[in-house]
């Protein structure tokens, strides 16, 4: 048994360097590969570094066992899968090698010269650099088409973002495989063009420089600026605290010095940083607030000046990355919000108003020589429109007959691809294009990653509902998109790459067919009752028509999930596929459906019951009897109507749901305590 991605086996992964990040990279690969019999080798020339790295590796596994993140058998397999050694010969035959040595281009070059002779002939060689261009790192490496930078973020085993930076010589196939690999193993790969520092570090180190300059100009103390930055930029920890946590003072000083000539002249090591390094060296630490401490700025005007400075600097730095063409708005927004825990630049600009955001950047540039005002932000302000980065990834997959299947993937990994109003609207636009493009024969709808197809609708939107009309509008939008798919005139197949709950399953039910991924326990379900609501995106109507009301009513009223095997048996999905063949299977199904070589039964549009039945009692446990009564009514009466009429009736029932105390209790409990907490309903 081997771990395989897109035709490549990963039997042996090498990690060069047992310093700060190498053991964490090894830990993540061990978690993925151990169950399939894969091995990871960590190589370092220093026995002391190997001992420290091994201890760090063991400590994190033990911590995972204690927190139940790892089962004992999984932890044992991970320990057995990893070897720490100073013998480079242990890398012989490796399928993938990730170098995580010091940021020294000559050292990296020597390492890859040695590794290239040991790794498998078709091995992919990666450098976990944070700044250096792949063209410089791999200048003397044989077969540079199989090389690239994979920039991990702290902590590497938990931070999901990885910047994938191909060089000029990197084969497109290598880049595409790396994107597939990292998504498959649970990361969020962001493709970035080659430039010193890539996309994120000029912003991370740039924000730190902005903060230092704010202190140097007298706007506030280190503690004050660090503390205010959390509010100003949406950070969990401020820039000085982040530097303490990552130990990044020396590399940041070097990076900022290089960026002066490589990006723009504003970049430079600030005086605060050079003085700290001169006095205390790499071990120097910043005087910041400890856990639970505050550094409130009493003077509101001074606090606002700090906020405006930080935001103006940040937005200017972020949109310069777009000006430079290093990555897309969508990818940068996602990378910064996930990897660096910042409010995304588009979200911040929209919240401030794009014109106000531009004025903050212009104000910062006016007082800081060499700081550029990005054209991207200027153009957006001139359009008087907010930014609208898409959550829907689109790709055309060419068929043998010259036709195209459009792959639509929802990408909101922070919330397991849950749908919000913006995503619904983006799907509407993408589906309209599918319908009107003559060369497109149909579409596959899927989700990003391996955990979720679409985990539901955005509960935060429901949390903001204060009137039945507002609730109606949310449910109506969900219904409209599912109905658009259903009446598109071209086949749409849902490829359930992970869990499809609530609004995700309701969207899939509008599709021509559904394929589930092999090996899933809970795959799909309508758990809305746990929130004190009904599935009002079509769930009480389509699900019951698909599987029969005798089976469906209990599943909906109890919110019970179905495994892939159960979903197949109930007819919710028509096929089960292995994960690595899921999309290709769905694409083939679309092609067959479009050509008339395959037929799937259409959703029943006519009434399925002549008289509204009385649904049998079920044992509700903690669930709301008031909500259950309305679910039963929506099912029983809706099924005596046409599908169109039943959907309309479901919406009217949802308006009544929005008047219940239990709806507020359930939604509030979910938002405040999470999905595993049971709400205490009052049944009214």
The mean pLDDT value for 143-167 works out to 96
The predicted-structure confidence for 615-638, as pLDDT tens digits, reads as follows 888 899 999 999 999 999 999 999
Task: Indicate if the pLDDT at residue 458 is higher than 90.
Answer: no
Cα 122 from Cα 72, distance rounded (Å)? 35
What was the pLDDT predicted at 1? 60
Residues 176-207: tens digit of each pLDDT: 999 999 999 999 999 999 999 999 999 999 99
pLDDT of residue 299: 87
**Residue 510, pLDDT above cutoff 80:** yes
Q: Which domains does the chain have, with CATH numbers?
A: 3-191 (3.40.50.720), 201-383 (1.10.1040.50), 392-673 (3.90.226.10)
- Per the DSSP assignment, residues forming a β-bridge with 524 are 500, 562
- The pLDDT score that the predictor gives to residue 611 is 79
User: Rounded CA gap, 553 and 632, in Å?
Assistant: 7
pLDDT value of position 401: 83
- Of 465, 466, 393, 464, nearest to 430 by C-alpha is 393
Is the per-residue pLDDT at 369 higher than 70? yes
Among the listed residues 81, 25, 19, the one whose alpha carbon sits nearest the alpha carbon of residue 53? 19
Q: Looking at residue 2, what is its pLDDT?
A: 75
Per DSSP bridges, beta strands 392-398 and 404-410 are: antiparallel
* Spatial distance between the Cα atoms of 204 and 335, rounded to a whole number of angstroms: 11
Residue 664 CB partners (closer than 8 Å, separation 6+): 532
Average pLDDT, the chain: 95
User: Residue 252 and residue 247: Cα distance in Å, rounded?
Assistant: 10
Kindly provide the b/e burial profile for residues 331-370, where b requires at least 16 CB atoms within 10 angstroms of the residue's own CB: bbbbbbbbbbbbbbbbbbbbebebeebbebbbbbbeebee
Per-residue pLDDT reduced to its tens digit, 81-116: 999 999 999 999 999 999 999 999 999 999 999 999
With a cut of 70, say whether residue 576 has pLDDT above it: yes
What's phi and psi for 394, nearest 5 deg?
Answer: -120, 140
Cα 642 from Cα 360, distance rounded (Å): 55
Q: Name the band, by pLDDT with cuts 50, 70 and 90, for residue 477.
A: very high
Percent of the chain with pLDDT over 70: 100
What value does the mean pLDDT take over residues 228-248? 94
- What are 254-312's pLDDT values in tens digits? 999 999 999 999 999 999 999 999 999 988 999 999 888 888 777 899 999 999 999 99
């Amino acid at each position: 048994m081997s771990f395989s991605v897109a035709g490549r086996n990963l039997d042996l992964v090498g990690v060069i360097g047992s310093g700060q990040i190498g053991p964490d990279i090894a830990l993540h690969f061990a978690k993925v590969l151990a169950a399939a019999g894969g091995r990871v080798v960590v190589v370092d020339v220093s026995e002391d570094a190997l001992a420290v790295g091994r201890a760090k590796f063991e400590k994190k596994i033990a911590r995972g066992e204690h927190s139940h993140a790892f089962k004992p058998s999984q932890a044992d397999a991970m320990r057995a899968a990893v070897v720490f050694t100073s013998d480079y010969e242990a890398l012989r035959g490796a399928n993938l090698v990730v170098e995580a040595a010091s940021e020294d281009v000559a050292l990296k070059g020597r390492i890859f010269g040695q590794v290239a002779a040991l790794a498998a002939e078709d091995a992919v060689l990666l450098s976990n650099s944070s700044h250096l261009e792949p063209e410089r790192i791999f200048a003397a490496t044989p077969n540079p088409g199989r090389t690239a930078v994979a920039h991990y973020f702290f902590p590497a085993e938990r931070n999901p973002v990885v910047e994938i930076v191909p060089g000029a010589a990197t084969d497109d196939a290598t880049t595409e495989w790396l994107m597939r690999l990292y998504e498959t193993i649970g990361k969020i790969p962001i493709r970035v063009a080659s430039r010193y520092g890539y996309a994120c570090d000029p912003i991370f180190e740039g924000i730190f420089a902005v903060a230092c300059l704010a202190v140097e100009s007298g706007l506030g103390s280190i503690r004050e600026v660090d503390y205010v930055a959390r509010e100003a930029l949406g950070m969990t920890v401020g820039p000085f605290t982040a530097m303490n946590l990552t130990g990044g003072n020396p590399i940041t000083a070097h990076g900022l010095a290089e960026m002066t000539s490589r990006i723009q002249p504003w970049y430079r090591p600030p005086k605060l940083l050079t003085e700290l390094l001169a006095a205390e060296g790499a071990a120097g630490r910043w005087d910041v607030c400890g856990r639970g401490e505050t550094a409130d700025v009493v003077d509101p005007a001074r606090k606002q000046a700090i906020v405006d400075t930080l935001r103006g600097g940040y937005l200017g730095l972020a949109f310069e990355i777009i000006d430079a063409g290093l990555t897309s708005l969508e990818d940068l927004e996602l990378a910064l919000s996930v990897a660096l825990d910042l409010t995304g630049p588009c979200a911040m600009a929209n919240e401030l108003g794009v014109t106000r955001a531009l004025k903050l950047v212009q104000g910062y540039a006016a007082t800081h020589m060499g700081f550029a005002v990005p054209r991207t932000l200027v153009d957006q302000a001139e359009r008087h429109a907010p930014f609208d980065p898409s959550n829907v990834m689109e790709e055309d997959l060419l068929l043998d007959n010259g036709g195209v299947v459009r792959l639509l993937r929802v990408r909101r990994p922070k919330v397991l691809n849950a749908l919000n109003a913006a995503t619904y609207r983006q799907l509407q636009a993408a589906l309209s294009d599918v319908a009107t493009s003559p060369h497109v024969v149909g579409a596959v709808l899927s989700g990003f990653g391996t955990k979720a197809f679409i985990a539901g609708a955005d509960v935060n939107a429901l949390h903001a509902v204060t009137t039945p009309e507002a609730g109606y509008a949310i449910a109506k939008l969900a219904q409209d998109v599912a109905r658009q798919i259903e009446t598109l005139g071209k086949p749409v197949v849902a490829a359930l790459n992970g869990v499809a709950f609530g609004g995700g399953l309701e969207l899939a039910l509008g599709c021509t067919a559904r394929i589930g991924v092999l090996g899933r326990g809970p795959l799909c379900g309508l758990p809305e009752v746990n929130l004190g609501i009904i599935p009002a995106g079509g769930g009480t109507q389509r699900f019951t028509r698909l599987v029969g009301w005798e089976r469906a009513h209990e599943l909906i009223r109890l919110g019970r999930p179905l495994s892939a095997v159960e979903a197949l048996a109930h007819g919710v999905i028509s096929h089960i596929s292995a994960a690595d063949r899921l999309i290709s299977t769905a694409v083939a199904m679309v092609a067959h459906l479009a050509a008339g070589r395959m037929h799937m039964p259409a959703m029943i549009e006519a009434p399925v019951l002549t008289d509204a039945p009385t649904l049998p009692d079920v044992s509700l446990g903690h669930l709301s009897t008031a909500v259950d009564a309305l679910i039963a009514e929506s099912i029983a009466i809706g099924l005596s109507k046409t599908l169109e009429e039943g959907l309309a009736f479901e919406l009217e029932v949802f308006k009544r749901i929005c008047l219940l105390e239990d709806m507020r209790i359930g939604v509030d409990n979910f938002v405040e305590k999470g999905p595993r907490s049971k709400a205490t309903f009052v049944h009214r």
